[in-house]
Structure 1
Amino acid sequence: MGPVGITEPISLSGPSEFDVIKTQELEKFLADSGLFDIQEEAVLREEVLGRLDQIVKAWVKKISQAKGFNECFVKEANAKIFTFGSYRLGVHGPGADIDTVCVGPRHATREEDFFVELHNMLAEMPEVTELHPVPDAHVPVMKFKFSGVSVDLLYARLSLWVIPEELDMTKDSILQNVDEQTVRSLNGCRVTDKILQLVPNIQNFRVALIFMRFWAKQRGVYSNVSGFLGGINWALLVARVCQLYPNALPSMLVSRFFLIFSQWRWPNPVMLRSIEEGSLSLPVWDPRRNPRDRLHLMPIITPAYPCMNSSYNVSSSTLRVMTEEFQRGSRICEAMDINEADWNTLSEPYHFFESYKDYLEIDITAENEDDLRKWKGWVESRLRHLTLKVIERDTFGTLQCHPHPADFSNKTRKFHSCFFMGLQRKQGAPVNEVKLYDIRATVNDFTQLVGTYTMWKPGMEIQVSHVKQKNIPHFVFPGGVRHFQVTVSVDGKSRKRKRVEVDVDSMSLKKELDVHKANELTAPVKGSRESVNVSVINSSAEQVKVKVHPHTSCFQNGGLEELEPSELCAVFGRLQTARSKATKKPMIRLSLYSTIKAGGSSQ
């Protein structure tokens, strides 16, 4: 097989014995983390896809008959379901959704037949739940669950009168005389197939991609809608590394991924093949001709015609976050090469709510669960206009936003959901000791945009507020309990020193302080199944002094077998973490409306 990609490989070397061992460890880590598909779920997904195919075939015959076509035409009328994304790539795991596209004939319209007639058919089926149409999205989609399996269904309207059962999606001719929404809807299938053609070893690609997807979710950088990267973006980046190291095993591919993209000079594009103009005169990504393409900060180009930038949502703030994560990953991979770190260390969850002093909280409410699901989907799809574009624009890039890709829900409030964004001043920007950012106009612009929702109903409201780290609501933390961390140093007879991070339950600690007792708390040691006993000695408004009583077994690894059980004292900052011990930053103050309804009025 000849060279694959737009450049020659960096290395053709095969795996070493160390690479084989590390790959075995990686595969065990993925299996232990439950990232491989379960047979029962795989069978269910196949059944769901088969059922969906039957439904769209019945749908197209029904609308063909309603439009007055003759009996022979109705009998030949056809539509077909194709998959794309993680399912088609073979990297999906338990509970994953299925990305699908319904390919229909020219007389089956998107606005009326797909989003009305097919929607109504699905709504009447008992196995279909949480049906949510998003016709105004960049790629119009219907989201729903079918027999408990999450499905995203797109629609592609071809110029053909009859859709052949053996339709070849790789041919450019199927794009002839179709609208932009159809081109974008077909792009997923065509790109997925092209990726699998362009990687030198599909199995190694899949294992590396499964890990990188998991890593991105753990580190909070997996979300296209939030301005980070989605599934197809990560697939394209991993595929490019596979091209550059065609004979490398998955462990080496992961290591080289971080090495390459920690040093990548954006906005130089990542491409799996050269961009082709094609014969259909469809627009392709070309910053030389298209001024809008020059604004893209992290271009990752799709390999199928028409070649597009798949990462147009990335902003300067989210690019900064991802670059820092790539650099962290590269450092840990270097430590793994000398056995000072492992796959758990590399994929440790990012502590978002310990990383900033200031946050933006966006709360949304609705009258019922169905309205909340639709309202949340709409607000989330528009959120980047507030956090990634408008704020950066209105503060001239001096205020950076880090969106959390997940939403949270306060169980004590009915039909509620909220999003959070970390805020910080751009490093190197000139500042005063106190800087006031007036973003009222920003919030107003955002609410006007949100207020254009065509399916808005009374009760759909949104509230935007500035929250300090110490006031982050407890419902965002696992189990509704906030944990602080203290790092203690342990000295044994051998005079060796080992750092141990201990999680302290804030509720239990508060209970200790409230009753003014020094009863011992049990706290887990980070990265270990062991625990230590922690007792409160005294406290002030700024810090708590605790005694840590280590169990000897906690510290036996790493040559500390001679450690004698002893009491250790550590200063415990109530809002201080390992990440926030840097030099004190200037205060950030925000001026904004506290409550905004969809129509843009303030309370």
Structure 2
Amino acid sequence: MDEERSISLVQFIVNEGLVPSPDEEEKRKNVILKLKEIVLTWIKKVAWQRRFPKEQIAATCATILTYGSYGLGVHGSESDIDALCVGPLFATMAEDFFIVLHNMLKSRPEVSEIHCVKDAKVPLIRFEFDGISIDLPYAQLKVSSVPENVDVLNPYFLRDVNETSWKSLSGVRANKRILQLVPNLENFQSMLRCVKLWAKRRGVYGNLLGFLGGVHLAILAASVCQKYPNASLNSLIMNFFQTFAFWPWPTPVILQDRILPTAGDAIETRSLMPIQLPCSPYEYCHSNVTRSTFRRIRAEFLRGHYRTRDLLKPDFDWGSVFEHFPYPKEYTRFVKIYLSASDQDDLGDWVGWVKSRFLSLLVKLEEVQGLCDPNPIEHVDIDVTEPNVVFYWGLNPSKSSFTDIRHVEEDFMKNLKNGYQGSAGGMGLSILQASQLPKSALLDTGIGKGTKACWKILDYNLRRTPTYSQHLPHYFVGYVATDREPEYPSAGG
């Protein structure tokens, strides 16, 4: 029965389109190769700007390292690529990465939808390359040249790196360590594909909304693989749900590591679900889990356990484990979050910014409602002509007296306007009964390809200040947008 269920689960993964075709795989590999070529050209250009000797320019290198779902080998046909640009000490983020490399990418015919995301915890350039979405942060190492196969776990390369570079490197380092620590890579990858699909279908995926992100799920899955190194795929899934349905949170989840010491109780984490990064005994995955989302995640672990625990169940169907969460049946009242902008480009920026601030709204709603379920599914109000995105979050059914949401809306709008550098879009909150939900929200279709959380920092409709190299007089590197009068720096200034 165990073997049959494992085989049927593999077939389920294929039927759901979770495994990309060979052509899609080849396309992604070519994109990474082209990016590496661009980055190599970029770093030699930067070295030339610094007036380095010819021999040093020829020898200097920078590289691209992949991480996230692509780096772990669990990406699907719709997945984006998380790629890290790693450069040497002379290549700065502010000038060389966000201006020189940005402009080189922007000039390429394969590149579209390029944005600089400077205000994120990990600043990055986001763009599409041959139709594939790329997130590209930057890490600056204190070396004169970065080898193509740089070992980001080697302390030599990590010495004295700044905090931003350290954060950018943590995803790559965590990925690499996870791949080293799992006993059976193929089983881990199949299991993680299933776990991610389950989290998305059940509405508990997405760190911005207080749920589990990709790195959280990868470490949870890896810990189960370590505990049951010879288990079948079916047994791994069963043990995954059983383990975390009854996990004694806030005891942290820590991967077994023969090299690194465990942090023990000495490290205090304020997270409700602490999960330690496998590349350091003192670092934990950034978590936004709140009281509401903690309760939802635990309920879904328990549901998964009850659905999979009976190995001899005659009519077992994997589809029942991965059913979409039925929001309209679970909640009688919803808060409607309506976001709008003047055009589609501005909407993408605005929605990305609002989503990055969703946690403050969730915490506020918890204060007045006790519990709130932030449904990640994005809808569009087709009765409105302006570009829009709508969210419907489930509200605590026991607090039906809450109807006045104006003070919550005012409070959240103040938060949104604080620091946003584009033209702010519209935002409105209202309370709906389940019977008032539009038909599109009644269909449990799950998460589609949502709007990426991004926003433009450079607005080329504003005044643009030309920027010159700090190291090569009269060498023009690009424009920076400003809403002030242009200040033209002196050559080399």
Give the TM-score band, short-chain normalised: 0.7 to 0.9
Match of 1:227 among 204, 210, 213: 210
Hey, what's the Cα distance between the residues in 1 that align with 2:58 and 2:408? Answer: 55
1:365 partnered with 2:330: no
DSSP 3-state at the match of 2:357:
helix
Q: Which residues in structure 2 correspond to 1:34-433 (within 5 Å)?
A: 34-273=17-256, 288=266, 290=268, 293=269, 295-305=270-280, 307-335=282-310, 337-387=312-362, 389-392=363-366, 394-395=367-368, 399-411=370-382, 412-424=384-396
Partner of 1:529: none
DSSP 3-state at the match of 1:246:
coil
Q: Which structure shows the bigger proportion of residues in helix conformation?
A: 2
- Tell me, yes or no, if the aligned pair for 2:267 and 2:282 is still in contact at 8 Å: no
1:461 partnered with 2:444: no
Which letter does structure 2 place at the counterpart of 1:450?
L
Calculate percent identity across the aligned residue pairs.
36
1:448 partnered with 2:423: no
The 10-residue stretch of structure 1 (57-66 or 68-77) with the greater mean CA deviation from structure 2: 68-77
Hey, what's the Cα distance between the residues in 2 that align with 1:421 and 1:311? Answer: 23
- Is the alpha carbon distance of 1:391 and 1:25 closer, same or farther for their aligned partners in structure 2, counting shifts above 3 Å? same
- Is the alpha carbon distance of 1:256 and 1:306 closer, same or farther for their aligned partners in structure 2, counting shifts above 3 Å? closer
Q: Which has the higher contact order (CA 8 A, sep 6+)?
A: 2
- Shift in Å, 1:75: 2.7
DSSP 3-state at the match of 1:435:
coil
Hey, what's the Cα distance between the residues in 2 that align with 1:450 and 1:95? Answer: 30
- Tell me, yes or no, if the aligned pair for 1:266 and 1:298 is still in contact at 8 Å: yes
- Is the alpha carbon distance of 1:404 and 1:77 closer, same or farther for their aligned partners in structure 2, counting shifts above 3 Å? same
Hey, what's the Cα distance between the residues in 1 that align with 2:162 and 2:308? Answer: 45
Hey, what's the Cα distance between the residues in 2 that align with 1:276 and 1:446? Answer: 46
- Is the alpha carbon distance of 1:423 and 1:287 closer, same or farther for their aligned partners in structure 2, counting shifts above 3 Å? farther
Q: Which residues in structure 2 correspond to 1:452-531 (within 5 Å)?
A: 452-457=418-423, 460-477=425-442
- Is the alpha carbon distance of 1:306 and 1:162 closer, same or farther for their aligned partners in structure 2, counting shifts above 3 Å? farther
- Tell me, yes or no, if the aligned pair for 1:275 and 1:303 is still in contact at 8 Å: no
Q: Bigger radius of gyration, 1 or 2?
A: 1
- Tell me, yes or no, if the aligned pair for 1:140 and 1:154 is still in contact at 8 Å: yes
DSSP 3-state at the match of 1:60:
helix
- Shift in Å, 1:261: 0.7
DSSP 3-state at the match of 1:323:
helix
Partner of 2:469: none
- Is the alpha carbon distance of 1:99 and 1:157 closer, same or farther for their aligned partners in structure 2, counting shifts above 3 Å? same
- Write the deviation string for residues 401-447 of structure 1: whole angstroms up to 9, x where unpaired: 11112322234433211222111157xxxx7xx63476544433322
Which letter does structure 1 place at the counterpart of 2:373?
H
- Shift in Å, 1:65: 2.5
DSSP 3-state at the match of 1:234:
helix
DSSP 3-state at the match of 1:337:
coil
Gaps of 5+ in 2: 446-493
Cα RMSD over matched residues?
Answer: 2.4
- Tell me, yes or no, if the aligned pair for 2:87 and 2:141 is still in contact at 8 Å: yes
- Tell me, yes or no, if the aligned pair for 1:363 and 1:419 is still in contact at 8 Å: yes
- Is the alpha carbon distance of 1:115 and 1:419 closer, same or farther for their aligned partners in structure 2, counting shifts above 3 Å? farther
Hey, what's the Cα distance between the residues in 2 that align with 1:104 and 1:391? Answer: 43
- Is the alpha carbon distance of 1:390 and 1:70 closer, same or farther for their aligned partners in structure 2, counting shifts above 3 Å? farther
Q: Which residues in structure 2 correspond to 1:20-31 (within 5 Å)?
A: 20-31=3-14
Q: Which structure shows the bigger proportion of residues in strand conformation?
A: 1
- Is the alpha carbon distance of 1:71 and 1:462 closer, same or farther for their aligned partners in structure 2, counting shifts above 3 Å? farther
- Shift in Å, 1:307: 4.2
- Shift in Å, 1:156: 0.7
Hey, what's the Cα distance between the residues in 1 that align with 2:440 and 2:306? Answer: 33
Q: Which residues in structure 2 correspond to 1:530-545 (within 5 Å)?
A: none
Which letter does structure 2 place at the counterpart of 1:370?
D
DSSP 3-state at the match of 2:392:
strand
Hey, what's the Cα distance between the residues in 1 that align with 2:281 and 2:100? Answer: 30
Hey, what's the Cα distance between the residues in 1 that align with 2:440 and 2:378? Answer: 11
Which letter does structure 2 place at the counterpart of 1:448?
K
- Shift in Å, 1:113: 2.1
Gaps of 5+ in 1: 1-17, 279-283, 481-603
- Tell me, yes or no, if the aligned pair for 2:325 and 2:444 is still in contact at 8 Å: no
- TM-score, reference length from structure 1: 0.69
Partner of 2:401: 435
The 10-residue stretch of structure 1 (127-136 or 188-197) with the greater mean CA deviation from structure 2: 127-136
Hey, what's the Cα distance between the residues in 2 that align with 1:289 and 1:250? Answer: 34
- Tell me, yes or no, if the aligned pair for 2:2 and 2:311 is still in contact at 8 Å: no
- Is the alpha carbon distance of 1:443 and 1:202 closer, same or farther for their aligned partners in structure 2, counting shifts above 3 Å? same
Hey, what's the Cα distance between the residues in 1 that align with 2:420 and 2:319? Answer: 45
- Shift in Å, 1:223: 1.0
DSSP 3-state at the match of 2:285:
coil
Hey, what's the Cα distance between the residues in 2 that align with 1:376 and 1:287? Answer: 39
The 10-residue stretch of structure 1 (117-126 or 74-83) with the greater mean CA deviation from structure 2: 117-126
DSSP 3-state at the match of 2:209:
coil
- TM-score, reference length from structure 2: 0.84
